[in-house]
């Protein structure tokens, strides 16, 4: 793994990191890539957000764009939720979907009752 580009934003408490992974096309998962960047940068994996991974045409090289946050709180405040959901397995994603349905059902049932008052 090679870091191609790195820049810091002190206001957002994050670093923008572009990495190049040689001979990893089709072999690396999103979670593995996040773990590799976290290890390279010396931070916890939950502080790293994957933005994009692209394969290079005609090669086995993969380029990745990551945000490395200073803390989990700053990541939660700034990082888009759907970017983290893309790294979940099918089972984890389905469980999250069911939890959201359960949370939305009581709220939807309470709304018509309040409208009748």
Question: Among candidates 51, 23, 27, 47, which has minimal Cα distance to 35?
Answer: 47
Secondary structure class of 6 (helix, strand, coil): strand
| Per-residue confidence (pLDDT) for residue 111, from 0 to 100 | 60
Taking the C-alpha atoms of residue 92 and residue 85, their distance in angstroms, rounded to an integer, is 9
Residues 13 and 33: beta-carbon distance below 8 Å? no
Helical spans, DSSP H, in the chain: 30-41, 72-78, 81-85, 90-116
CA distances from 80 to 49, 74, 95 (A): 9, 11, 19
Buried b (16+ CB within 10 A) or exposed e, 66-93: bbbbeeeeebeeebeeeeeeeeeeeeee
Assigned token pair, 34: 């996040």
| Per-residue confidence (pLDDT) for residue 107, from 0 to 100 | 66
Q: Per-residue pLDDT for the chain (117 aa), expressed as one digit of tens each?
A: 888 899 998 888 889 999 998 887 778 888 888 999 999 989 988 889 888 988 888 888 899 999 998 888 888 888 777 777 878 888 888 888 888 888 887 766 666 655 555
């Amino acid at each position: 793994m090679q870091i191609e580009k790195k820049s810091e934003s002190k206001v957002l408490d994050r670093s923008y990191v572009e990495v190049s992974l040689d001979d990893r096309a089709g072999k690396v998962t999103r979670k593995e890539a996040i773990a590799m960047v976290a290890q390279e940068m010396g931070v916890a994996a939950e502080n790293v957000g994957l933005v994009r991974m692209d394969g290079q045409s005609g090669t086995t090289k993969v380029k990745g764009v990551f945000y490395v946050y200073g803390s989990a709180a700053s990541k939660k405040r700034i990082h888009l939720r759907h970017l983290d959901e893309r790294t979940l397995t099918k089972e984890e994603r389905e469980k999250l979907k069911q939890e959201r349905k359960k949370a939305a059902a009581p709220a939807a049932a309470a709304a018509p009752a309040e409208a009748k008052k």
